[in-house]
Amino acid sequence: MTTTFDEAAFQQLKTEVTEWVRGRGEEWAEEIERTGQVAPELFQELKDRGWLGLAAPAELGGRGIPFSRYLEIMEIVSRSHASIRMLVHVINGTWRAMQPYATPEQIEQVVKPSVAGDALVAFTLTEATAGTGADIRTTVRREGDTYVMNGEKHLITFGVKCDYWLIAARLEGTAGQDGTIAFLMPNTGLPGAEVIDDSDTMGIRGTDHAILRFTDTPIPASARLGEEGQGLEVALGGFLLPSRVSVAMSAVGLAERANELAVEYANTRETFGKKLSSRQAIQFYLAENYADIAAARALVLEAARAYEEDRADAGTLSSASKMVAVDMLARVTDKALQVHGGQGYWKRNAIERVYRDARAQRFEEGTNEIQKLVVGRAVVTGQAGF
C-alpha cells in the first residue's frame, strides 16, 4: 500500500540506480555490444541488487513498489543498454500475469523463483501468422492429464534461455477469445518442441529471441495457468496492459539519454569558431526534444495511475501512452543523431546504439497500428474517458 511507502528509501534507490547506470551500467553496455551476449555475471548483479523484484508484492518476495513509482526506476534503467532494460522490464512484469491465476504449487515453483531471479519466464504470445491475440493459431487438445500442442511462436524474448514459457494457445476447434488457454510450460526439452535461436537483431543486442515450433508436444495439465478460456485474459490484461505503460516509460528514459548525449556533444563540438550549442537551429532541436519528452512522460504517468486505480480508461490510456511515447522516441533520437552529424553514425559513439535500440519499441508489446485501433475504438464508442 502507498500509505506505508518509504519515500526516503525510494529516493536512495533512485540514486543507486542512477549511479550504476552511469558507471557500471555503461561498462556492461560496451561489453554487450562487443560480445553480443548478456553475461551471466550481469544477470547475477541485477539479481543481487534486488532490481528484478522491485514491483512484485512482498508476499512474492518483491519490494512492493507501487506501479507508478516503479516506473520512475524503469525510466532510469532505460537510459542504459536495451538488454539491461529488457531484463528489468520483463521480470518485473510477468508475475502480474501469473499471480492471479496460479495454483499454490505454481506460486512456489515458478512465480516466486521468477521474482527472485532464480527462474526466467518468457512471455509467449506472438505468431508469424496471427495478429492481436484473439486469432492465435497454436492449438492444444486434451488427452487425459495431458495437453498436446501444435503450432509456432516467433519473436519470443528470452525464449531460448528461459526456464518457462508463459504461453497462450487455443483449444482445437475453437475461435475467438473463449477458446484460449495459457500454460507455464517448462523449457526442458519436451518432445516435439523445437527452439530456434533468432537473436541476430538490429538493436537490443544480447537479448535472446526465439522461434518455437511444437509438433504433438505434451504438456502436463498441471502446467495450465488459470482455466480453459482464460488464455487471453492472462496474456492481455495480466501482462500486456501494464507492460505497454512500462514500455512507454522505457521510451521516455531512452529519449532522455538521447537528448543528454546530444547536449553533451553540442556543448563540446565547435564549427566556425562557435559551439554547436550556441546555434539557434541546434537549440531548437534540443528544445523540441525536451518538450516532446516532458509531454510523453506526463501521459505515461497518467496511464500508470489509471492502471493502479483500476479505472475504466486504463486500457485506452495504456495504448495511448505507448503510441505517443514511441513516436516521441523516434523524433528525439533522430534529432539527437542529427546533432552529432556524421559522427553519430559511427559505432564508437553511444548515440548510434541508442538510435538502433529505439526502433524496437515501435513494435514491442504491439505495434502502434494496433494501439491506434484500441484507442480509436474507445473514442468512437465513447469509452475513452473524455
Residue 161 sits in the same domain as residue 208: yes
Residue 132 sits in the same domain as residue 181: yes
Assess whether pLDDT exceeds 50 at residue 2. no
Listed residues 228, 245, 275: the one ending a domain: 228
The total number of structural domains in the chain stands at 3
Residue 142 sits in the same domain as residue 96: no
166-204 pLDDT, tens per residue? 999 999 999 887 899 999 999 999 999 999 999 988 889
Name the percent of the chain lying above pLDDT 70.
99
Mean pLDDT, residues 147-161: 96
Residue 386 has a pLDDT of 74
Is residue 175 within 8 Å of 231, Cβ to Cβ?
A: no
User: What does the mean pLDDT of the chain come to?
Assistant: 94
| Domain CATH code at residue 43 | 1.10.540.10
Residue 76 sits in the same domain as residue 213: no
Listed residues 50, 81, 116: the one ending a domain: 116
82-102 pLDDT, tens per residue? 999 999 999 999 999 999 999
313-328 pLDDT, tens per residue? 999 999 999 999 999 9
| Domain CATH code at residue 214 | 2.40.110.10
- Give the pLDDT band (50/70/90) at residue 132: low
Domain that holds residue 54: 2-116
Is residue 234 within 8 Å of 226, Cβ to Cβ?
A: yes
Assess whether pLDDT exceeds 70 at residue 20. yes
Residue 258 sits in the same domain as residue 365: yes
Q: Is 386 among the domain residues? A: no
Q: Is 21 among the domain residues? A: yes
Residue 220 sits in the same domain as residue 340: no
Cα separation, 352 vs 377, in Å, equals: 37
Residue 243 sits in the same domain as residue 366: yes
Residue 218 belongs to what H/E stretch? strand 209-220
Q: Which residues contact 376 (CB under 8 A, 6 or more apart)?
A: none
Assess whether pLDDT exceeds 60 at residue 375. yes
Residue 3 has a pLDDT of 52
Comparing CA positions, the residue from 381, 237, 232 lying closest to residue 318 is: 237
Residue 1 has a pLDDT of 40
Is residue 120 within 8 Å of 158, Cβ to Cβ?
A: yes
Residue 67 has a pLDDT of 96
Q: Which residues contact 6 (CB under 8 A, 6 or more apart)?
A: none
Residue 194 sits in the same domain as residue 67: no
Residue 383 has a pLDDT of 84
Residue 288 sits in the same domain as residue 310: yes
pTM over 0.95: no
Mean pLDDT, residues 219-228: 96
Residue 202 sits in the same domain as residue 265: no
Angle between helical axes of 241-268 and 314-339 (0-180°, round to 10): 20
Q: Is 128 among the domain residues? A: yes
Listed residues 116, 143, 164: the one ending a domain: 116
CB-count burial class (<10 Å; 0-12, 13-18, 19+) for 182: buried
Instruction: Name the residue with higher pLDDT: 177 or 121.
Output: 121
Cα separation, 251 vs 265, in Å, equals: 21
Q: Which of 182-196, 214-228, 235-249 has the lowest mean pLDDT?
A: 235-249
Q: Which residues are catalytic?
A: 365
Residue 163 sits in the same domain as residue 217: yes
Assess whether pLDDT exceeds 90 at residue 130. no
